[in-house]
Amino acid sequence: MDKHEPKITSIEVSDESITAQLTDGRAISVPLVWSWRLANATPEQRNHFEIIGSGQGVHWPDIDEDLSARGMLEGIPAHPAKQPA
């Protein structure tokens, strides 16, 4: 793993944003709507997460959502749910 790869130390999800603290002291914040799963989740589901990959990302097991530090930094929102035909 690249020693310069961003790593998440903590995460907070509010009604408006997802904010990650990084090991290098930066904080990244993206709009909650970037993750439709988190936007539709209950506060309890939003607060039940695990930091994965030595800080490379975060996983919310109750809603099967994953976000990466790199994706947040690069501004890559989650793809919307596919609508039934």
Q: Which domain CATH number covers 62? A: 3.30.2020.40
- Between 22 and 3, the more confident residue is 22
Beta bridge partners of 59: 50, 66
In a domain, 20, yes or no: yes
Q: Considering its fold, how many domains does the chain have in total?
A: 1
Q: What is the DSSP letter of 78?
A: P
- Residue 70: left (phi > 0), alpha (psi -120 to 50), or beta? alpha
Does the model's pTM come out above 0.75?
yes
- Give the mean pLDDT of the chain: 92
What single-letter amino acid sits at 79?
A: H
- For residues 15-23, average pLDDT: 97
Full residue range of the structural domain in which residue 53 is found: 8-74
In a domain, 32, yes or no: yes
In a domain, 27, yes or no: yes
Element (H, E) at 81: none
In a domain, 31, yes or no: yes
Extract the runs of DSSP E, i.e. beta strands, from the chain: 8-13, 17-22, 27-31, 50-52, 57-60, 65-68
How many residues does this entry show for the chain? 85
Residue 57 binned pLDDT confidence (cut-offs 50, 70, 90):
very high
Residue 68 binned pLDDT confidence (cut-offs 50, 70, 90):
very high
